[in-house]
Structure 1
Amino acid sequence: MTASETEGEESSGDETCPECGGNVERVLSGERRRRLSTFVSGALRHFPADAGLELDAQGLTDRAALEAAVGRKYDWADEDALAAVIATDPKGRFERRETASGTEVRAAYGHSVAVTLDDEGSDADDDGDVPDRLYHGTDPANLGAIRAEGLRPMDRQSVHLSGSRATAREVGRRHAPEPVVLEIDAAELVADGFGVSKRGTETYIVGRVPPEYLTVLS
């Protein structure tokens, strides 16, 4: 598996796998892990054609094709490195599916390309594991539009929400040094027929959030 490690350091022995808890050998450095994860996320979410990949309607691609794509990008990115990044991503950015012909992989959320994620058999929980409150971090400059129109997908396919206020603030800092955190009445949202799905470890997606379900916390 993989773990954070200084670029170029040798493995110092067995590590604890964050996925299964077993003893494993560290195979990828911290900086290389970050670079590979960023490339794989981008290829599966935003630029599959540029990476030489074909996604099906559900965003899935053959793992062997993905291995070839990362090998073309980084000469050090072998099968084990890719498997480690997919299996141990701390935010659960990737999903795997076993088929009769082999393993398929996709990004769990964050797509700007057209895919359908709410398919039967996925790792997502549609409405079944949604907290009563969810959160969204944003630039304070967006508040006027949000109060008028609610949350919309913008350049992504879905609105992305967080399971905790702290995570929402962290996400919001990508857009502003001092983000505003919004609280979403997810229980009412679901009760009123808006489909909310859990993706990864703490990300939830929904088509839109009308303003009446939102409260500004900070």
Structure 2
Amino acid sequence: MTEPVFECATHGYYARAADDRDPPACPACDGDGDRILDGHRRRRLSTFCSGALRHFPDDAGLTLDAGGWTALTELVACAERQYGWADDRAVGAVVATDPKGRFERRERGDRVEIRAAYGHSIAVDLDAGRRDDVSGDRETETQDDLPETLYHGTAPRNLDAILDEGLKPMGRQTVHLSGGRETARTVGQRHADGDPVVLAVDVRELTAAGFDVRKRGVDTYTAERVPPECLTRSPNV
């Protein structure tokens, strides 16, 4: 269940499940916060914002630059048109508390910009004009800093084709990989009727073959594709 979001006057937005206090206390100072969104509205708004930035900016009324950035005020205006209750605080709360790091935010002079950190089906160059003003610890890692193994979860029906042809972007710009096996398993469950298959990716072999691997969120990595020789089936544990 998606947790509601609150705002502490001192420490900003936080997400916390209901407890014996109403509202639940700020985890930083144990003080009371203002309720911004319940769990249902938070999930709906997050889905809309990430979809608008990843897949349908034109339909939402957004203009993205080459790197996928747009003004935060534009995203807020689009969200307000979609949901009358989705003001700037609601959008700010969704962005700040996203558990998977789906959004990146930066300041350029007096303009605040936002984009989806990964998952695009539209053509954007996430490395175009990268700057140090991206908030949060989401800058691309160097190849030496990458984990030795990444993971990809999929439905069992896809296994033979993947082991024969490797991982391809399909409807997205890049292949999405997970930093942990359980995260990959959770992703794979979205596409599998039963237990998903988890594949291990040899990152050193992948980069040695000339493929860049990029970190794009809390536990998400991307690559242009993954050849079959870089894949092994991870055992069920």
TM-score for both structures, normalised by structure 2: 0.83
Which of 169, 191, 202 is 2:208 aligned to? 191
1:131 aligns to 2:147 (yes or no): yes
**91-100 or 115-124, larger mean C-alpha shift:** 115-124
Correspondence for 1:36? 45
1:25 aligns to 2:34 (yes or no): yes
RCO higher in structure (CA 8 A, sep ≥6): 1
Moved over 6 A (4+): none
Given that 1:11 and 1:26 are in contact with CA atoms closer than 8 Å, whether structure 2 keeps it comes out as: no
Correspondence for 2:162? 146
Percentage of pairs with the same residue:
56
Q: Deviations over 1:149-186 (max 9, x none)?
A: 10000000000000000000000001003110000001
User: Relative to structure 1, is the Cα distance of residues 65 and 207 closer, same or farther in structure 2, using a 3 angstrom cutoff?
Assistant: same
Q: Distance in 1 between matches of 2:67 and 2:101?
A: 17
Given that 1:118 and 1:124 are in contact with CA atoms closer than 8 Å, whether structure 2 keeps it comes out as: no
1:49, distance to aligned residue in structure 2 (A): 0.6
Root mean square deviation, CA, Å: 1.8
1:101, distance to aligned residue in structure 2 (A): 4.3
Which of 148, 151, 157 is 2:173 aligned to? 157
The gaps in structure 1 that reach 5 residues or longer are: none
**Aligned AA (1:64):** T
**Aligned AA (1:154):** M
Q: Distance in 2 between matches of 1:146 and 1:105?
A: 34
Count of aligned pairs between the two proteins? 211
The gaps in structure 2 that reach 5 residues or longer are: 1-12
1:27, distance to aligned residue in structure 2 (A): 1.6
Q: Deviations over 1:116-151 (max 9, x none)?
A: 012322533243531000000001111121111100
Correspondence for 1:105? 114
Given that 2:60 and 2:78 are in contact with CA atoms closer than 8 Å, whether structure 1 keeps it comes out as: yes
Q: Distance in 2 between matches of 1:13 and 1:143?
A: 44
